[in-house]
Every structure is written in structure tokens, then in C-alpha cells.
Chains A and B, each alone.
Chain A
Amino acid sequence: MNETRHRVTLTVNGVVREAEVPGRRLLSDCLRHDLGLTGTHVGCEHGVCGACTVLLDGEPVRSCLTLAVTADGHEITTVEGLARGDGEPSPVQRAFTECHALQCGFCTPGFLCTVTAFLRDNPAPSEEEALEAVAGNLCRCTGYQNILKAVHRAAEIQSEEGGA
């Protein structure tokens, strides 16, 4: 058995990357194992936990439900790309630390990507909206109240700093 391989070009965190992958290769595996960007995690591989969430052209997607070939030519942001240009953690990243919104940190990259996209579209969310925003990601360690606190704190940091 020999599999056909496809060349894909992805712009990941602003850098153009190439990989040669079989058609069935998941985007999560391509990022992690072909490109070495292991910050994106896989918790279920069936689209339920949200740990693998990355931004595809700015929108959060489950990278475990996305084939790498379908991302060809698109822009991807992973947790490694959330920090600001100067290497300083982003407001969302900082808020997660300030609010103790992580324990083992395995689910965290998915939350960070989800919340980053959410706050870009809704910089001053209500409690309800923040809850809705994170309600698709599972965390087994932290409970969610500190994660919700972090969403609001991130919004606050962003607005203090005049938007991200």
C-alpha cells in the first residue's frame, strides 16, 4: 500500500510552511508532528473537547476535524502565535495566568485560541456571552469559574491597552 501525498502550503503564525501529507492527515497532526508546533493539543480527536482549536483565517476551528489538505493556502494561528510581536504574552494569555485559569494546561491552548477570536469580535462581553464563548471547550482540571474570570480580565486588559 502506498499513499498519495499532497504538498500543502500553510501560513502558520505568519510564516509560510510547507508539508507533504497524505490526504487523510489531520490538521492537528500536521501542525504538531509535521511542523513541530506541539502547542496545539489533541484531547479527543472527535471534535468534542476543543483542545485542538486553532484559528483558520481568524476563525476558531477544531483542527482534529480538519484535514490538512483542506487548509492548503490558508492562514493558521496556533497558541504559539498568540503572543505579541515583542514576545510578550497577549492579554488573553496574561489574563489566564492572573486568574489561575489553568492547571495542567492541556486544554489551555484551545481556550486561548477560542477566547482570542471571541474577544476580537466582542471586546466587551456580558457574563452570558462569555459563558457561551467558552462553552464548547472541555477542561477537566480547573473548573470554569476562573476561566470565565480570565475572559473578562482579558477584555479589561485589552481595553486598558486600547484594544489588542
Chain B
Amino acid sequence: MTTKLFGEPVRRREDARLITGRGRYLDDLGRGALAAAFVRSPHAHARILDVDVSAALDVEGLVAIYTWEDLPGALAEPLPLLIPHPALTHGRTAHPLAREIVRHVGEPVVMVVARDRYLAEDACALIRVDYEILKPVVGIEEAVRGVHLVHEDVPGNVGAHLVQEVPGHGGVTAREAVEAAPHRLEFRLDVERSACTPLEGKGVYARWDADDGSLRVYSSTQTSTSVRMAIAAKLGLPLPKVEVIAPDVGGGFGVKIVHPWPEEILVPWAARLLNREVKWAEDRREHFVSSSHERGQVQHVRVGFDDDGRVLGLEVEILHDHGAYTPYGIIVPIITSTQLLGPYKVGAYRVEFSSIYTNTVQVTPYRGAGRPQGVFCMERTMDKIAAYLGRDRTEVRAANFIQPDEFPYDQGLTFQDGRPLIYDSGDYPEALRMLKELIGWDSFAQEKARAAAEGRRIGIGVGCYVEGTGVGPYEGGHVHVTSDGRVHVSTGLTSQGQGHETVFAQIAATELGVPIEKVSVVTGDTRRFGYAVGTFASRAAVMSGNAIALACRKVREKALRIAAEALEADPRDLEITDGTVHVAGVPSASIPLATVAVLSNPLRYAFDEEAKRATQFAGPASDDRPPVAEGEEPGLEGRDYYSPVRSTFAAGMHAAIVETDPDTAEIRILRYAVVHDCGKLINPMIVEGQIHGGVAQGVGGALYEKMVYDEHGQLLNASFMDFLMPYATEVPRIETAHLETPSPLNPLGIKGAGEAGVIPVSAVIASAVEDAEGIAIDRMPISPSDLHHLRLER
């Protein structure tokens, strides 16, 4: 039996409970807890004049009603601005409950606690809030005019403004390079607002232990450690008295990384105040109007290039719609502006963005986090250059690729983590070769001609991306081998369905040489691991995976040392397979890892057979040495952290063939191909699953998903009936091929894989629709009616 599981398509260990209904998602917990519900603003911009709760007081089962006035101390202050940046000159965050002014429909104004959710909603419906309606600012155009302000003290609605410039050869500016180039193009590209929309909304459940003065909170979060710190700070509790647990989480995609959400501190606060268990589980409409959105950006591009399509200068101006608040800083436009360059070297680059406030839901990262916009921008640019020169689109791309021998490659920019944007490894020409073969790029022209002869319109599209993954600062891992031979692994970051339990167990089993059945993994539970950052930016495998591997190596070293003593062997001659330490080549000289765990602890009550057996190996006791030697610890345990110098850069390329209906303008994806490089694969099945899910979300972004606000700031499609997400009928089969260029930056050679699938899809579909129709596609998503109108304008 092999214990080398790294790289194998090991089946998921989380499935056993999830397929039988034994998952424990947030709302599955706390049966009988009181329920919280919120009165949320029906207006996009308004002053609160009065809150009248009198009618609600008669509701049977009502327990409490709170407004901003009721909030004590730090709870009454604005929520934290999590990632400040010098360019964010006017960062603004909301109060947990609105104070005086509401700035988007859905902002929480009053919190109600009642016996159950039905009754809490009854009470909400009876609470009268008087508003003085203020002029709402909706849409980027309206916002940049700056006539009406979202925040009175933010002139022009500009929250942040940032320029990054990389000069070309001889120090030429991008402007100069564009001007001097043999060819120039200038155009505008738009991407609409969408949202993560996990199937499970957010939720919080809190239990106060009055005797112990401690709080246990369960949250459907992507970062339990940070929620814990936020709760302790906002409620004035000692950190060790607060525990936060992320149970099974029904998808996150970014929205659950924001912390604390108002409810994450209000619910625990109410639980303590009332000395009762309190729970809030978000409903779908609440999610649409009060959880974050993303993607809304306008981009102006000027590009200069030579006859081969090589980019000599690129200037991009981005207007980013930030919504009403900036709790997550300006991460999204920073990522767009830096990741836009993808696998290409551009001669000189200048990017400038303004982050603009509007009276709409706040914007924070959604899977891909600013990259789909950046890739849309760059890939449309490549297509436009190809069209202008009458060249093959893949040829133009290849002319701009960073070559395999040029790594590490410094793009000269500062990345989202504040570090230089240096690509670690990759092989873009090979990836393109694989993709062209997979989709049949070179034979497509004939296929297209054949289709045209039948009156059918088909088109092919391509899109490339590089994705910074595994951002720091760190993650940790703890590994404990108990005397029954079981291996208990924990890490602080959370899981929202990515299969972390399985891949982390694979890593531990491989590193320690134990069967995977012996390994258990806990994620996102601050009782088990207190220091962590969280699950976002395709960082879990890179960060926690490496931390766990390092912790395992510590444990392994100690195990070998102890075993060597017991076996009277040299530790260098020992190996561990199948949970047993043995002398290489001498199968008879061996000792089970379980026994080593017993030996590691000088307190040896014979609770179990292992302990009894272990005594025979116990070394001679020495009267002048303490039982636990200096520098030693009892037990077979290890903890380590992985903290990278910089991000790893995964890459990939997608291609699609679409068919557009000549009459109805319906767009159908006939084929979809992905070449993906995330370094070493831990579990190819899981990586492929990540790609499938990502592409499905990308198809949503390309063809359907769009938050439709009217001029009053009302979200017109705040339901699954109206906000369209793809069903099985809309997502094509995805053909995948993997390329592995290991990352030199971490011990396992891995890069992140979580977001890749989603990133280039809009660019690819735009490219394909353009090819089918011969009409420039400059905004996404594109619906049949959009395409129909474009046809009319032609």
C-alpha cells in the first residue's frame, strides 16, 4: 500500500457527510436560538429622521429592538477599513447599524431579535422609519460628474486615485511610446456589476457563557480568526474568551472574506446582552442588497504597437465603481491594474484608476477579484491589434509573451500584497500550443466556412491570463500524532467547499508516510489554530498546504529521532511508510509511529495497548537528566508557518467556440477548452473541479450576470428569478489540459487554482462572439438583446 498521495485524484473525504445531509452549515446549528432580522433601508440615499418601534412591540415573541443609539463603545463606531492604502485618501465604512444617513438600499437600520425568524420579520414590518430622501448617485458616469455626493465630505465622489507607470527602454513614458509607435488604437471597455452569490447566504450564531464570560460564535465566514479578533475588539472581550468557528460553508467566492460584517458583531453582542443564543441567517433578498458586489468598471485603453503586433506602449485609465463604502480598500482596482498585463511584456505601461463612490452596495473581491476586468481589457486589446493588422489572434499574443527563459520576470509594478510584481515561473508558448491543439485552432477556419455554407454563424475566441496566487503574509499548520497512530492536522484558514480536508490530508499523509485514513483535518476553528489569514486569492493550498508540509517535516524529524534511539539506528537510515518507521532495507527493524508517539511522552499510563507496548522501547532512564530534556517537548507534535516572499503566479489560457443565432441572437457555447498551469497538482480531480466551477461562474459573468440598478438606486433584479445564473443547460462541457511549471518559491512547488476558471471567460466569449458576428464586443455581459442591438447599429 502506498502512502504517497500527493498528485493523486484522491476522492473527497468531506463528501460522506455532505451527501447524507450530515453537513453542519450555519443555519443547521443552534436549533431553538433566538432569531435576528433587520430593518433595511428602502432608499439608496436618505437621512433617518425618526424610528418608531411602538407598533412592533405587540408582536408576540419579540425580544429586543436595537438602533444605532443603543450600540455601546466601539460597536457604535464605523466598521474597520481593513486594507488601508495611501492612495485611498477618502476611505469610508458603514456603521453596524446606520447612523443618521443611509447610503444604499439594504443598509441595516434596525436590528430585531425574536423567538423565531417569522416573528422577527413581523416586527421589522411594523417598525416605521421616517426618511428624508437625498439625491442618490447611481452609475459611474453620474458619480464622476460629482454634482451629488455619496459622502458629503468626499469631493467628486473620488475615494482613491492611483497611478503606476513602468517606463520602456531608455526611460520612455507610455504616452511617448504610444505616440511613437507605428500603429495606435484607442477604445473603451466596460464590465458590469455582478456578485459572488454563494448558494448559502451569510450567517452568524452566537452563544454566550455567562459563568465563564466567554463567547462562542459560528460564522459562515472565509476568515474565522479575523472575525474573532473583530468581535473581541468591538465587544471589549479578552481574545482568549472568544472562539470563532467556520462550520461547513456553502460557498464563499469572496463575499465571506469581508469581516466583520455588521451582523458578525451585532449578533454576538445581542447574545451576550440577552444571555441567550442568537442566530441570523441571511435570506436571498438580503444577500442581494446588503452583501458585496463586484466587477463594475469602465476602462479606457490607448495602445501603440508595431507591425508584428508587439505592444510598445499601453495606457489604461480605469473608473472603478466602489459602491457606498470601502471596507476592503482598493484591492479590486489594484489587482485589475497590475494583473492586466497577463503573460505579456509591454514596452511601457501606465495605468491610472479612480475609485468612485456610488449609492449602491459596496464592492469587495469576487472570485477572480478584478482580474476578469483586467484580462478583458488586455485580451480585447490583443484581438483589436490582430484585427487591425489582419493577423491571427494567437500569433499576436505569442509575439508578446514572456519567454520561458525570462523567469523570474519583473513586471516593474507593485502587486496587491505591496510586493514587487515578479512572476516566478511559467511556460506560455507551450500553454498556447496545447490550447490550440485542444480546441483545433488551426483547422477552425474550414469549420467556420462549412458552418457558414449551412447558414450558421460560429466563432472562436481565446483568452490568456496570469494570476497572482497564494498571497501572504502567512498561514500556519499544526500536526499532532496521538498514541493511537492517528494524525490530527489543523490550520486556521477556512473551507467553503474547495476540498481542503482532502488535499491537506493528502499532504500530511505523504509527508508523514501514513495512510490517509489515519489523518483528520480541521480548518477554520480558532480553538484549534488561532493564527490565520483566511481563504481567498487562491491561497489555501499554497499557504496552508506548505505550512502543513513544514509542520509534518518537523514531526517527522522528531519521530525519526525517537525511533532511531529505540531501534538503535541512525535516523538517516530510517523511513516511514504505512504508519511504521523502519530501517531502510531491513523490514524487521521497525516501530509503529503510534509507539513513537507514546515514547515521545514520558508520562506513560498504560491507557491503551500502544502505551503498554511502548515501554519495551523506553530508553535507559538517566538520574541526572530531567524526563523532558531541555529544548524538548512532550508529545509528537509540530507547528510551523509558511510565509512567502511574494506571490506565486499561476497561468492559463482558454478558448471557446460559440454559435450565434442569426434570428434570435442567442449565443450558445459549443466548445470550451482550458489549459491550466498551477504548478504541481496536489489533486488533479479537485483542481479540475475548481476549473469547472470557475468556468461556470465565468459563463454567468459573460452572458447573464448583471446587477440592474434604476436611477433611484433600486436593485431591480434582487432575486434568482431575475438575476440570472447559469443552470446545467447553459454551461458547456469543459475540456482541460494541465501544464505543470512548479513554483520555485515554496517547498511543494504549487500555485493556487481557485479562481483561474473564472478569470478569462468574458474575454474569451467576447472574442468568439466578435469572430462569429464581425461586430466589436466592448462590454460584458452580452445578452441576446444586447447582440441584437449591436447588429442593428452595425
A residues with CB within 8 A of B: 1-3, 22, 24-25, 32-33, 36-46, 48-49, 51, 78-80, 82-83, 89, 93, 96-98, 100, 102-109, 112, 131, 134-148
Bound-state CA distance A46–B283 (Å) is 10
Bound-state CA distance A46–B287 (Å) is 14
Cβ contacts under 8 Å, A148 to chain B: 728
Bound-state CA distance A70–B499 (Å) is 39
> Which residue, A36, A80, A97, has most C-beta atoms of chain B within 10 A?
A97
Partner of A104, one of B16, B59, B200, B725: B200
B722 nearest CB neighbor, chain A only: A48
Cβ contacts under 8 Å, B18 to chain A: 102, 105, 108
Q: Is B729's beta carbon under 8 Å from chain A?
A: yes
Partner of B122, one of A1, A78, A139: A1
CB distance from B388 to the nearest CB of A (A): 35
Bound-state CA distance A43–B16 (Å) is 21
Bound-state CA distance A79–B747 (Å) is 42
**A100 pairs with B199, CB closer than 8 A:** no
CB distance from B253 to the nearest CB of A (A): 7
Contacts beyond the supplied A131-B728, A143-B694, A145-B733: 7 A-B pairs with Cβ under 8 Å:
A1-B59, A25-B118, A36-B31, A38-B21, A45-B283, A46-B284, A134-B728
> What does the 1/0 interface line of B2-43 toward A look like (CB < 8 Å)?
000000000110111011111111011001000000000000
Cβ contacts under 8 Å, A78 to chain B: 21
Cβ contacts under 8 Å, B25 to chain A: 38, 41, 106
Q: Is B496's beta carbon under 8 Å from chain A?
A: yes
Cβ contacts under 8 Å, B16 to chain A: 89, 97
Q: Is B89's beta carbon under 8 Å from chain A?
A: no
> What does the 1/0 interface line of B721-753 toward A look like (CB < 8 Å)?
100010111010110000000000000000000
Residue total for B at the interface (Cβ-Cβ under 8 A): 57
B window 457-505: CB within 8 A of A? 496-499
B122 nearest CB neighbor, chain A only: A1
Bound-state CA distance A36–B21 (Å) is 11
Q: Is B407's beta carbon under 8 Å from chain A?
A: no
Q: Is B248's beta carbon under 8 Å from chain A?
A: yes
Cβ contacts under 8 Å, B437 to chain A: none
Cβ contacts under 8 Å, B719 to chain A: 44, 46, 48
Cβ contacts under 8 Å, A146 to chain B: 689, 692
**A140 pairs with B728, CB closer than 8 A:** no
> What does the 1/0 interface line of B653-664 toward A look like (CB < 8 Å)?
000000000000
Partner of B28, one of A38, A97, A104, A112: A38
Q: Is B564's beta carbon under 8 Å from chain A?
A: no
Number of A-B contacts (CB under 8 A): 170
Partner of B696, one of A32, A42, A107, A144: A144
CB distance from A129 to the nearest CB of B (A): 12
Cβ contacts under 8 Å, B122 to chain A: 1
**A144 pairs with B731, CB closer than 8 A:** yes
CB distance from A144 to the nearest CB of B (A): 4
**A93 pairs with B720, CB closer than 8 A:** no
Bound-state CA distance A128–B521 (Å) is 40
Bound-state CA distance A98–B9 (Å) is 11
Q: Is B665's beta carbon under 8 Å from chain A?
A: no
B725 nearest CB neighbor, chain A only: A138
Cβ contacts under 8 Å, A104 to chain B: 198-200, 248-251, 496-497
Given contacts A46-B284, A140-B197, A143-B693, contact A102 B720 (CB under 8 A): no
Q: Is B711's beta carbon under 8 Å from chain A?
A: no
**A37 pairs with B21, CB closer than 8 A:** yes
**B118 pairs with A100, CB closer than 8 A:** no
CB distance from B355 to the nearest CB of A (A): 27
**A44 pairs with B20, CB closer than 8 A:** no
Bound-state CA distance A1–B693 (Å) is 47
Partner of A33, one of B31, B58, B499: B31
A-B pairs with beta carbons under 8 Å apart, 23 shown: A1-B58, A2-B60, A38-B28, A49-B720, A78-B21, A80-B21, A93-B20, A97-B12, A100-B12, A104-B250, A105-B23, A105-B248, A106-B23, A106-B198, A106-B251, A138-B725, A139-B199, A142-B689, A142-B696, A143-B696, A144-B696, A144-B727, A148-B728
Bound-state CA distance A2–B27 (Å) is 26
Label chain A's interface by main secondary structure: loop
Partner of A100, one of B59, B689, B729: B689
Bound-state CA distance A161–B497 (Å) is 31
**B199 pairs with A51, CB closer than 8 A:** yes
Cβ contacts under 8 Å, B60 to chain A: 1-3
Bound-state CA distance A32–B24 (Å) is 12
B13 nearest CB neighbor, chain A only: A97
Cβ contacts under 8 Å, B14 to chain A: 105
Cβ contacts under 8 Å, A79 to chain B: 19-21
> Which residue, A40, A51, A103, A104, has most C-beta atoms of chain B within 10 A?
A104
Bound-state CA distance A33–B28 (Å) is 8
Bound-state CA distance A103–B252 (Å) is 11
Q: Is B278's beta carbon under 8 Å from chain A?
A: no
Cβ contacts under 8 Å, A44 to chain B: 284, 719-720
Cβ contacts under 8 Å, A140 to chain B: 197-199, 251, 253, 693, 697, 725
Partner of A137, one of B496, B686, B727: B727
**A97 pairs with B21, CB closer than 8 A:** no
**A141 pairs with B497, CB closer than 8 A:** yes
CB distance from B582 to the nearest CB of A (A): 34
Q: Is B685's beta carbon under 8 Å from chain A?
A: yes
**A39 pairs with B21, CB closer than 8 A:** yes
Q: Is B695's beta carbon under 8 Å from chain A?
A: yes
Cβ contacts under 8 Å, B697 to chain A: 140
Partner of B19, one of A36, A38, A96, A136: A96
Partner of A145, one of B21, B284, B692: B692
Bound-state CA distance A16–B733 (Å) is 43
Bound-state CA distance A112–B12 (Å) is 17
Bound-state CA distance A59–B689 (Å) is 30
Partner of A103, one of B11, B693, B695, B721: B693
CB distance from B323 to the nearest CB of A (A): 21
CB distance from A83 to the nearest CB of B (A): 6
Bound-state CA distance A140–B704 (Å) is 14
**A145 pairs with B19, CB closer than 8 A:** no
Cβ contacts under 8 Å, B253 to chain A: 140
B29 nearest CB neighbor, chain A only: A38
**A131 pairs with B729, CB closer than 8 A:** yes
Given contacts A1-B58, A131-B728, contact A103 B21 (CB under 8 A): no
**A32 pairs with B27, CB closer than 8 A:** yes
**A135 pairs with B728, CB closer than 8 A:** yes
> What does the 1/0 interface line of B193-226 toward A look like (CB < 8 Å)?
0000111100000000000000000000000000
**A106 pairs with B21, CB closer than 8 A:** no
Q: Lowest 8 A-B CB distances belong to which pairs?
A: A39-B21, A104-B497, A106-B250, A105-B18, A143-B692, A38-B28, A48-B720, A144-B728
Cβ contacts under 8 Å, A93 to chain B: 19-20
Cβ contacts under 8 Å, B21 to chain A: 37-40, 78-80, 109
> What does the 1/0 interface line of B53-83 toward A look like (CB < 8 Å)?
0000011100000000000000000000000
Partner of A89, one of B20, B59, B728: B20
Given contacts A40-B21, A89-B19, A105-B250, contact A136 B727 (CB under 8 A): yes
B window 616-631: CB within 8 A of A? none
Bound-state CA distance A148–B693 (Å) is 14
**A41 pairs with B22, CB closer than 8 A:** no
Cβ contacts under 8 Å, B197 to chain A: 140
Cβ contacts under 8 Å, B496 to chain A: 104
**B20 pairs with A39, CB closer than 8 A:** yes
A92 nearest CB neighbor, chain B only: B19
Given contacts A51-B199, A140-B251, A144-B728, contact A103 B499 (CB under 8 A): yes
